[in-house]
Amino acid sequence: MDPECARLLPALCAVLADPSQAVADDTCLEKLLDWFKTVTEAGSSLLLLQENPCLVDLLTHVLDLKPQNVSPRVLSFSLCLAGTFAAQEDCFEYLQQGQLLLGLFGEAGPLSWAAWSVPIVRSGWIRGLRSLAQHPSALHFLGDSGAVDALFSLQGDSSLFVASAASQLLVHILALSMQGKAAGSSSLQGSAWPACAQKIVDHVEACLCSTAAPQVTQALNVLTTTFGRCHNPWTEVLWGQLGPLVAHLLENEPIPAAHSLVDLLLSVARSPVFASADCGLWETTARMLSCLSPSQAGPLALGTLKLQNCPQALRSQAFGVLLQPLVCILRATAQAPGPPGVLDETTEGSSMTVDTLLSSKSACVGLLCQTLAHLEELQPLPQRPLHWPQTLLVEAAVIILKLCEGSVAPSSSEGGRLCGALAGCVRVQRAALDFLGTLSQGATSQELMLQVFAVLLETLESPASSPTVLKKAFQATLRWLLDSSLPPSSLDLGLPAPLFLKELFPVLQKRLCSPCWEVRDSALEFLTHLTACWGGEADFREVLLASEVPKLTWQLLRDPESYVRASAVTAMGRLSSQGLQAASESSGHLEVQQGLVGELLHILSVDSEGFPRRAVARVFTEWLRDSHADVARDTEWFVATVLPMVSRDLDWEVRAQGLELVQVFLAQTLGQSSPHCPYVVTLPKASPPSPLPEVLRTLCQLQVFDFAFRALFDCDRPVAQKACDLLLFLKDKTAPCSGLQEPGESSDVTSVEATLQRWQAGEQGQPLSTLEPKEVLAALRSMDLEGLQSRLAESSDHVEKSPQSLLQDVLATVAVLEENVADCY
């Protein structure tokens, strides 16, 4: 422990032990515990207690105080602290000598105090026990102190946090007591379980037989955690013993704690212990799949399908459960019911699904959303069924979207009721669009693809579509457009796409003019992505240039909403990179292009919000990197124009982006950073960089160094870090240029250094005299950039986060607590 902290510790303990002194806030106590945990993990707890007797004094004092005098927060803290120390066996024995642990965790301790009614005390008690339960001595202690019984009742605590922690601790104790037990199942039969484990198993067994649902749930939760965490052979014996009781629960009507039962079965099935053994698990799962309600069976079906080792028959059954709702929808709307094989397996239990779908609107919506989400999750997994009914799923997603749009009129009465339940339902629309998006990767017939595009267009066109639905519709459309095109070798896009694009662009135009900023923004994001992928395709270029979209995007550069302006900047940057700006009749392409640079520079210099300015800086960097025609025409002019703007920007991310731009410029003029590894083969450079002295002169003229040096002392750390990296790169590059300086001639860097020092002191207003290459080189050499780099790598609040600072804060706060009452930010 830091000597300064050790010095402050007695005062801290005194404050905590004094009931008249209240500690400012909970976060301090939590952070103190974090600190003690780090200290004890790094060294001996016993030594810590012996060197700092105030710690044991604190615990003793808390126990000695009349219970009503201890603040619940301090009591909870002390329990956690005692547990942390007692995690080491020698320290445990040391604390036990004084009966301290029994006092704190035994039945006569807080369990019987009035403070026990405060949840944080119960929580602290459990956390303390959880920390100390690490060794055999602790196990004996737990058995003797009555703690396990208390934990049984805490599983039903009114606080979710306490109940959950109690359940977790029981599992931990069970695992601890089984540690090192013989692996063979025969050795554990009968009453061969260790006492503590036996007690827990008996309790779980009794709960499983109980008629009270909460008890059953608690038992199932303990078992779920056990099989999830412990993968030792004894868990197999445990399942052998309790499995039949679990299976027995299925005979009840309704099945108690169905969700927890599903979790348990999946947890057992996932355990590697059961990888090869059958143990009746699959049979129980199959029974459960058939008797649960469709919405309860869904998660079990998905979980089963994700398993690696499950029998084929069960997989088919599970997949049938997942498909059922969609099949019912297709039947009710009199769609062709897909390939025969799939439906045969789904007929069983379909009446229950139909009942759920038709029972009420909320049940119908709930089941459909869940089903769509489950199938979406399954789609990209390698475990998904081999016979993936792509056609059926696409058809189902399309028909669901049509039902939501109200654009289909089923003749059957079920279809009519479904239509009534789903019409205008945004929740289902969102889920169906997400699902439809993931289906773009499968092989789909051209006819069906046309249907997909038609329904997407319908959703995008519909005046009733909400902004969130439109966003998802754009995303799904993008996926279908990009995935549906023919193999990349072909220059043409897939057949449906060009036709679709012609219809899509008027809709896109309309959405770019939407009164909702969310919609305009989603439309711009869509345009940007599509252009990035298809900017070179002739069909796309033709449709885009024939539309009003480029003009509208330009107009959105002046949108009142900053998010939209930023997206418009990115979109225009992308369009321009691909040579896709609108050339109006009056102005030529060049004028438009120059107009765009001017417009973006305008945004960079005057926009009051950070997002658009950041977007401009990013676009400019990209343009420079890709040698965009306008930039390449006069790169130096470009850099000279942009740098003064970004270097003065209030937003540190713009300044950081500006440094990125400089880095790209330097890489282009000086060549890439040389690899430090001598064995790396470097490719010959395409065009040899200009001679160094000349480059340095240019950099000085462009005020690159002024920007970089100033940024080095920026109050925002990422900027300083980037500047430091940049200058180190320059130092590395200019090393061979030391010859620039004649021997014996020493350049005068004092004025530069003085200015830099003043900047470091925060006086950024000081101007830097015009730099000459010589001065720059000297300054670079004289600065400890490596040291600065490592200092900057540390987070800037490391001092404030230190334990010493924490202790000082706790102690200082006590004195003034009453003055500053609780407040919000």
Position 358 contacts other proteins (CB under 8 A): no
Among 21, 96, 164, 293, binds other proteins (CB under 8 A): 164
CB nearer to other proteins: give 387 or 801.
801
CB of 820 vs other proteins, minimal distance in Å: 5
Position 819 contacts other proteins (CB under 8 A): yes
Position 362 contacts other proteins (CB under 8 A): yes
What are the C-alpha distances in Å from 511 to residues 479, 568, 612?
19, 13, 20
Among 405, 521, 559, 775, binds other proteins (CB under 8 A): 521
Among 33, 91, 120, 724, binds other proteins (CB under 8 A): 120
The 3 state secondary structure assigned to 104-128 is HHCCCCHHHCHHHHCHHHHHHHHHH
Among 45, 88, 356, 370, binds other proteins (CB under 8 A): 370
In sequence order, the 6+-apart residues with CB closer than 8 A to the CB of 108 are 102
> Quick one: which of 145, 197, 155, 200 has its CA closest to 176?
197
Among 1, 31, 35, 229, binds other proteins (CB under 8 A): 31
Task: Write the binding mask 464 to 503 for other proteins: x where contact by CB under 8 A, - elsewhere.
Answer: ---xx--x--------------------------------
CB of 422 vs other proteins, minimal distance in Å: 12
Region label for 308, one of left (φ > 0), alpha (ψ between -120 and 50) or beta (otherwise):
alpha
Cβ neighbours of 412 (radius 10 Å): 12
Q: How far is CA 76 from the centre of its chain?
A: 31
Distance CA 234, CA 184 (A): 8
Cβ neighbours of 776 (radius 10 Å): 25
Widest distance between CA atoms in the chain: 100
Among 2, 26, 542, 591, binds other proteins (CB under 8 A): 26
In sequence order, the 6+-apart residues with CB closer than 8 A to the CB of 283 are 247
Distance CA 567, CA 139 (A): 61
CB of 805 vs other proteins, minimal distance in Å: 7
Interacting positions 250-279 with other proteins (CB under 8 A): 259-260, 262-263
* Stretch of 75-83, 135-143, 481-489, 796-804 lying at the interface with other proteins (CB under 8 A): 796-804
Q: How many Cα atoms are found within 13 Å in the side-chain-facing hemisphere of 352? A: 16
Cis peptide before 254 (omega within 30 of 0): yes
CB of 512 vs other proteins, minimal distance in Å: 16
Q: What is the DSSP string of 165-227?
A: HHHHHHHHHHHHHHTT----SGGGSTT-S-HHHHHHHHHHHHHHH-S-HHHHHHHHHHHHHHH
Contact between 597 and 620 under an 8 Å Cβ cutoff? The reply is no
CB nearer to other proteins: give 337 or 366.
366
CB nearer to other proteins: give 137 or 466.
466
Position 118 contacts other proteins (CB under 8 A): yes
The 3-state DSSP class for residue 425 equals coil
Interacting positions 195-254 with other proteins (CB under 8 A): none
CB nearer to other proteins: give 503 or 518.
518
> Quick one: which of 243, 257, 171, 248 has its CA closest to 215?
257
CB of 342 vs other proteins, minimal distance in Å: 25
Q: Outline where DSSP puts E strands in 440-552.
A: none
CB nearer to other proteins: give 3 or 684.
3
Q: At what angle do helices 390-405 and 361-378 cross, to 10 degrees?
A: 140
Interacting positions 733-752 with other proteins (CB under 8 A): none
Position 361 contacts other proteins (CB under 8 A): yes
Position 360 contacts other proteins (CB under 8 A): yes
Q: How far is CA 763 from the centre of its chain?
A: 40
Region label for 342, one of left (φ > 0), alpha (ψ between -120 and 50) or beta (otherwise):
alpha
Position 18 contacts other proteins (CB under 8 A): no
Among 161, 588, 746, 750, binds other proteins (CB under 8 A): 161
CB of 810 vs other proteins, minimal distance in Å: 8
Interacting positions 756-775 with other proteins (CB under 8 A): 762-765
Position 406 contacts other proteins (CB under 8 A): no
CB nearer to other proteins: give 650 or 683.
650
CB nearer to other proteins: give 409 or 812.
812
* Stretch of 86-94, 104-112, 159-167, 284-292 lying at the interface with other proteins (CB under 8 A): 159-167
Position 514 contacts other proteins (CB under 8 A): no
Task: Write the binding mask 522 to 551 for other proteins: x where contact by CB under 8 A, - elsewhere.
Answer: x-----------------------------
CB nearer to other proteins: give 259 or 589.
259
CB nearer to other proteins: give 16 or 778.
16
CB of 598 vs other proteins, minimal distance in Å: 23
Contact between 267 and 220 under an 8 Å Cβ cutoff? The reply is no
CB of 250 vs other proteins, minimal distance in Å: 18
CB of 423 vs other proteins, minimal distance in Å: 12
Q: What DSSP state is assigned to residue 735?
A: G
Distance CA 597, CA 630 (A): 8
CB nearer to other proteins: give 176 or 428.
428
Position 823 contacts other proteins (CB under 8 A): yes
Interacting positions 175-194 with other proteins (CB under 8 A): none
CB of 470 vs other proteins, minimal distance in Å: 10
* Stretch of 354-362, 438-446, 526-534, 730-738 lying at the interface with other proteins (CB under 8 A): 354-362
Distance CA 652, CA 656 (A): 6
Distance CA 655, CA 720 (A): 10
CB nearer to other proteins: give 142 or 419.
419
Tokens, residue 16:
């905590």
Interacting positions 622-651 with other proteins (CB under 8 A): 650
Interacting positions 598-617 with other proteins (CB under 8 A): 608-611, 614
Interacting positions 278-317 with other proteins (CB under 8 A): 299
CB of 369 vs other proteins, minimal distance in Å: 6
CB nearer to other proteins: give 650 or 680.
650
CB of 162 vs other proteins, minimal distance in Å: 7
Among 37, 270, 697, 717, binds other proteins (CB under 8 A): 717
In sequence order, the 6+-apart residues with CB closer than 8 A to the CB of 258 are 292, 293, 296
CA angle (595 as vertex; 590, 596 as ends), nearest 5? 100
CB nearer to other proteins: give 31 or 541.
31
Tokens, residue 722:
């980037």
Interacting positions 555-574 with other proteins (CB under 8 A): 563
> Quick one: which of 494, 564, 562 has its CA closest to 527?
564
Q: What DSSP state is assigned to residue 797?
A: T
Distance CA 458, CA 507 (A): 10
What are the C-alpha distances in Å from 617 to residues 569, 633, 670, 704?
10, 19, 22, 16
CB nearer to other proteins: give 120 or 699.
120
Position 167 contacts other proteins (CB under 8 A): no
Interacting positions 48-87 with other proteins (CB under 8 A): 72
Among 183, 715, 735, 754, binds other proteins (CB under 8 A): 715
Number of residues that bind other proteins (CB under 8 A): 81
Distance CA 167, CA 163 (A): 6
Interacting positions 418-437 with other proteins (CB under 8 A): 426-427, 430
Tokens, residue 17:
């032990």
